[in-house]
Amino acid sequence: MARAATTSDVFNAIAEPQRRDVLALLKAGEWPATGLAERLGMSPSQASKHLRVLREVGLVRVREVGKQRLYELDARGLRPVHEWAGGFAQFWNESFDRLDTYVQELKEQQ
């Protein structure tokens, strides 16, 4: 089965660890591509490729200031990921509740 293009949706785009690293840096504010590349230890062309993918799926916005392009996080694009992951919240809450009950039962037995 062929793998979907990284620009087809946000899940494919964030499957790449370096793109997640880019997003983590952008949480703090705007960065130029060269600064991101330097900070993450990648070449400028690698950073540009990652930023292009993130831009195409709606996770990053870019604005030009003179000759420089500044990139910033657009967290609205993470909504599908948040909604999908949120579907597991009930599962984890119930699992932790069962664990708490079990621990209390062990304490009472001692």
Give the pLDDT confidence score for residue 75 in this predicted structure. Answer: 92
Do 62 and 71 form a contact (C-beta atoms < 8 A)? Answer: yes
The hierarchical CATH code for the domain 10-109 is 1.10.10.10
Give the pLDDT confidence score for residue 3 in this predicted structure. Answer: 56
Domain edges within the chain: 10-109
Write the single-letter amino acid at 63.
Answer: R
Give the pLDDT confidence score for residue 32 in this predicted structure. Answer: 96
> Measuring CA to CA, which residue among 72, 52, 69 is closest to residue 61?
72
Give the pLDDT confidence score for residue 11 in this predicted structure. Answer: 95
Q: State the alpha helices, DSSP H only, in 1-110.
A: 10-13, 17-26, 33-40, 44-56, 79-86, 89-109
Q: Give the chain's end-to-end CA distance (angstroms, integer).
A: 54
Q: pLDDT of the chain along its 110 residues, tens only?
A: 545 566 678 999 999 999 999 999 999 999 999 999 999 999 999 999 999 999 999 999 999 999 999 999 999 999 999 999 988 988 889 999 999 999 999 999 98
Residues 6+ apart with CB under 8 A from 110: none
